[in-house]
Structure 1
Amino acid sequence: MQGLHLTADLYRCRCDGAWLTDAQRLGDWCVEAVAAAGLQPVDQLFHTFPATAAGAGGVTATVLLAESHVCLHTWPEQRSVTADVYVCNFSADHSAKARQLMDALVNRFQPEWTEQRSLDRGDGQ
């Protein structure tokens, strides 16, 4: 069960606000970004949360991959996003594809700053 798990917390995103509130638009773009990175989407779920007193509701966009998953959560009232990309490296090393996908996600939202982490999963055997 070897793999690579990448996370990014994106702050003060300067993208068009629709990327933070329109689940279908964001989800469709995610599927395209997955394919552009050379990964294989197998299912998807996109959900917009109801508006609150703070403003428009956020979005969760999840794309299941043959290699594992990508998931985004948006907080439009804070102009923030969390991104999660995980690939298993069972049949091949998909690490470069995961990094390419994460770069595309970060670039889509144009954050003022990010906190990114990388975790090697599994025991390497």
Structure 2
Amino acid sequence: MLSDAERLRALALRAVGAAGLAPVGELFHRFGAPGGVTGMVLLAESHLALHTWPELAAVTLDVYVCNRDADNSAAAEALLAALEAAFAPAHSERRRLVRGDVAARD
């Protein structure tokens, strides 16, 4: 699966929908041998990016969600959990970055 851009695209879109996030566009690209994939799903709430290295059996994910009117943290966690379950890694690391407040200013 790590070199199959279409399967990764379908997986990402299913996981995004199951998490309750709204996709507005996507782009997935398979590179030459050994066939890693970089994919991006643009979300109304920001984005999901994924990168695969089949030769290393590795995947990295970046989920960024923001919304001035709602806290999407639970949706981001659900998205990561769904993708982690699908990839079933032997090892996993997570880093959470809380970004600045972008609330409307008068």
Give TM-score, length-normalised by structure 1. Answer: 0.78
Query: Which residue of 2 is the match for residue 75 of structure 1?
Result: 53
Aligned residues: 103
Judging by fraction of residues, say which structure has more strand.
1
Deviations 1:72-120 (A, max 9, x none): 1000000001001000131211100000000111111111111111111
Q: Are the aligned partners of 2:24 and 2:44 in contact in 1 as well (CA < 8 Å)?
A: yes
In the alignment, the residues of structure 2 paired with residue 49 and residue 26 of structure 1 have an alpha-carbon distance, to the nearest angstrom, of 14
Q: Output the amino acid matched with 1:41.
A: P
Q: Are the aligned partners of 1:45 and 1:62 in contact in 2 as well (CA < 8 Å)?
A: yes
Hey, which bits of structure 1, 4+ residues long, moved more than 2 A? none
Q: Output the amino acid matched with 1:83.
A: L
Q: Does 1:46 align with 2:28?
A: yes
Give TM-score, length-normalised by structure 2. Answer: 0.92
In the alignment, the residues of structure 2 paired with residue 20 and residue 106 of structure 1 have an alpha-carbon distance, to the nearest angstrom, of 13
Query: Which residue of 2 is the match for residue 119 of structure 1?
Result: 97
Q: Output the amino acid matched with 1:57.
A: G
Aligned residue runs from structure 1 range 14-33, under 5 A: 19-33=1-15
SS of the equivalent of 1:21 reads: coil
In the alignment, the residues of structure 1 paired with residue 101 and residue 44 of structure 2 have an alpha-carbon distance, to the nearest angstrom, of 21
Q: Which segments of 5 or more consecutive residues in structure 2 lack a partner in the other structure?
A: none
In the alignment, the residues of structure 1 paired with residue 47 and residue 23 of structure 2 have an alpha-carbon distance, to the nearest angstrom, of 8
Identity %: 57
Query: Which residue of 2 is the match for residue 95 of structure 1?
Result: 73
